[in-house]
Structure 1
Amino acid sequence: MTDSISIRAYEPRDLPETARLFDLYRQFYEQRPDLMHAERFIRARIENGDSVVLVADDGEGTLAGFCQLYPSFCSVAAAPIYVLYDLFVERRARRLGVARALLAAARTRALADGKVRMDLTTAKTNVTAQALYESMGWRRDEVFFTYTLTVR
């Protein structure tokens, strides 16, 4: 990773940049651009204490990436976990170790917050991300299927 990018916890001043990145993240997953929706969503998560956001700060007022962790529980382990739902690095900062640094910081934060595990899902076609996760010790679940149900 370049020396000019540092990973830190989200601060209120980061809202516009985090919302911009969150909007780009959603577009990556084929959602229509909607910066205002992205900003409202991030603001609500932070204000409600629903998530932990880590940012990759380039030191010049522009964020290079972010990850968002949602607290949850594992009933089988009877312990708290984080769901790493969002991880995004802006195109200009890819291949510089930013995603790796965000993942490492997320692990450190999970340990500090008493979580026993982190879970994530990614698109089957996102092989670049899969290779990164596996290189950092994440294991692909070969036992369970993931299902979703849209209720609205």
Structure 2
Amino acid sequence: MEIIRATMNELEDVTALFNDYRQFYGHESDVGSAKAFLQLRLTLNESIIFLAVQDGKAIGFTQLYPTFSSVALQRAFILNDLYVTEDARGLGAGKALTEKVFQYSQQQHARYVTLQTAPDNANARGLYEKLGMKQDEYCNYVKYFD
């Protein structure tokens, strides 16, 4: 398995995975909007996308968004998306993608990588804890806008 940083050359592969990921979370399929969203993120250098490729086939991706820690005066990253195709689960792609995120973040001298996952997503929580991530002590709040 190879983990590569996605560029516009991999946009079609990432788009297909991203569309599947959104459907996994209950959204309707919308390949055109998914592609436009990713294309803009890559064009504006607003996100970092890593792609897991096995035997020439894209089997998973992760997307990071840069942010900053004002208190630490350092860069930080939000691991916003992680998805592995159903038929590739159990092959270690999620672990390899997450480890690539950690490696990249350390190379960028980031203070931390943060993420959120559903409380009932036992597989993801197990992976993150196995890789040394811990739940923080902060109360996260969110306000959604329609």
2:26 corresponds, among 27, 30, 41, to 30
Gaps of 5+ in 1: none
Could you tell me which residue of structure 1 aligns to residue 115 of structure 2? 120
Where does 1:86-125 land on structure 2 (aligned, <5 Å)? 86-125=81-120
Q: Which amino acid aligns with 1:9?
A: R
TM-score with structure 2 setting the length = 0.95
Superimposed CA distance per residue, residues 59-89 of structure 1 (whole angstroms, 9 cap, x where no aligned partner)? 42x2100000100012232211010000000
Shift of 1:144: 1.5
1:46 corresponds, among 37, 42, 46, to 42
Q: Which amino acid aligns with 1:56?
A: A
Counterpart CA distance in 2 for 1:11 and 1:39 is 13
SS of the residue corresponding to residue 72 of structure 1 reads strand
Shift of 1:11: 2.5
Could you tell me which residue of structure 1 aligns to residue 79 of structure 2? 84
Gaps of 5+ in 2: none
Q: Percent identity?
A: 32
Q: How many pairs does the alignment contain? A: 146
Superimposed CA distance per residue, residues 113-146 of structure 1 (whole angstroms, 9 cap, x where no aligned partner)? 12111000011111100000000000012x2122
6-15 vs 91-100, which deviates more?
6-15
100-109 vs 6-15, which deviates more?
6-15
Q: Which amino acid aligns with 2:144?
A: T
Counterpart CA distance in 2 for 1:114 and 1:140 is 21
SS of the residue corresponding to residue 105 of structure 1 reads helix
Matched, 1:147 2:145: no
Matched, 1:16 2:12: yes
CA RMSD of aligned residues (A): 1.1
